[in-house]
Structure 1
Amino acid sequence: MKRCRLAAGLLGALMALAGPDHSSSGGLPAMVGKANADERGKQGPAASMPMARDPSAAVAEEYEAARRQGTREAFELFIARHGDSPLAEQARAELKRMSR
């Protein structure tokens, strides 16, 4: 009899420590259940991923940004990131012009 009360007391203490944000069934936080219910209630098309950017366009934008800055550091950073790009040759030429 004492063991049963002790076990029940321990179970009650554990439930109290778990707090009100845990449900009594499954032990998941109550907010997870609410979020899942909200998601089930939504209607409409599923969200889609935007198309990936063209890598060469991103490199060209970075080169233009380095050119606008016009500093050695900007061109060196561009070359470090995109050393195999054709625009890296232009950045190297810009660095040579700057050193004159």
Structure 2
Amino acid sequence: MKRSLLLAGLFGTLTALAGRDHQPFGGLPVMVEKANADEAGKAGRAPSMPMARDPAVAVAEEYEAARRKGTREAFELFIARHGDDPLAEQARAQLKRLSR
């Protein structure tokens, strides 16, 4: 009988010492939730990485930059970087026009 009272008292003491700012059962510590809360007091989402760019769009933008520059070096650099891309054929055609 004394043992169960001792365990109950120990558990109550630990609960009281833990206080409100410690980890509730099954969740984050309360202070972490408060730190992540937005100005309205609601828990917000953790910051995340921005979405990766579409590679095809990046290649098309690089081709347009080479076309605007219009130099042999710009088209050669584009072909060296993206030789397998369909836009590389257009860059090769532009190089042939520049050679004339």
Flag whether TM exceeds 0.5 (same fold). Answer: yes
Q: TM-score per shorter chain, which class?
A: 0.5 to 0.7
Secondary structure (helix, strand or coil) at the match of 2:79 reads helix
Which structure has the bigger radius of gyration?
Answer: 2
Aligned match of 2:92: 92
Say which is worse superposed, 79-88 or 46-55, in terms of deviation: 46-55
SS at match of 2:83: coil
Deviations 1:37-89 (A, max 9, x none): xxx57323211111111100000000000000000000000000000000000
**Which whole-Å CA distance do the structure 1 matches of 2:77 and 2:35 have between them?**
46
Higher helix share: 1
Amino acid at match of 1:42: A
Counterpart mapping for 1:19-98 below 5 A: 40=32, 42-43=35-36, 44-98=44-98
Give the drift of 1:92: 0.2
Give the corresponding residue for 1:7.
none
Q: Which amino acid aligns with 1:77?
A: L
Matched residues, number: 62
Q: Kindly provide the amino acid, as one letter, of the partner of residue 94 in structure 1.
A: Q
Name the CA distance, whole Å, in 1 between partners of 2:65 and 2:55: 15
Where in structure 2 are there 5+ consecutive unaligned residues?
A: 1-31, 37-43
- Give me the whole-angstrom Cα distance separating, in 1, the residues matched to 2:81 and 2:98: 20
Equivalent-residue separation in structure 2 for 1:46 and 1:66 (angstroms): 39
Q: State the TM-score, normalized to the length of structure 1.
A: 0.58
Which 4+ residue blocks in structure 1 deviate beyond 4 angstroms?
none
Over the matched positions of the two proteins, sequence identity in percent amounts to 80
The 3-state SS of whatever aligns with 2:74 is: helix
